[in-house]
Structure 1
Amino acid sequence: MYRAIEKLELLGDQLGYPHSSNVRGTSLRELRPRAGRSPWRAFYQRVGDRIVLAAIGPEALHDPRGFRRAIGTALARLDSINFE
């Protein structure tokens, strides 16, 4: 996970698939360590000039319920933060 976060920090929005992808139905993106071969995902969103890592959860195929829960957690955290 650490190396994937380093890549995100270095490349930002230029980090594309298979390392990062949209989370359907949300404003989130998922960081996909090991080019998607990891069972873990980090959920993040760009807010202004920052990238905010809001939650870490399981990959959807391994644990669909945990994946949805992590998305809910990420969205709630982002809603609760004052970015001004």
Structure 2
Amino acid sequence: MIIDAKCKPLNDRCGVDREDLYQLNSYLTAHKAELGALAYPTLDQQPPPDIQQRNPWLTQQNRAMNFVQLPTTESDCTTALSTLITSRRMDTLD
């Protein structure tokens, strides 16, 4: 799995930058990874953006891309990443 951390908000108003999508897709293709994520910090207590609720997105090569917000505290972030990795691995086994 490739996780590309971003230091900017993920929100429905702006969405995901095209450049970030190309970058993640390139990483997935170059490393033949089946799972990838653009990870953004959770900056407020609002519900997850619509784009996150529609995960996973698929590339043309059928690789899963996820857009997620992660907590900014170390322990909560570790838990959230573990959940993401475990759930996506289980999805690929179905």
> What TM-score comes out, normalization by structure 1 length?
0.44
Q: Per chain length, whose mean CA-contact separation is higher, i.e. which structure has more relative contact order (CA < 8 Å, sep 6+)?
A: 2
> What TM-score comes out, normalization by structure 2 length?
0.40
More strand by percentage: 1
Which structure is larger by alpha-carbon Rg, 1 or 2?
Answer: 2
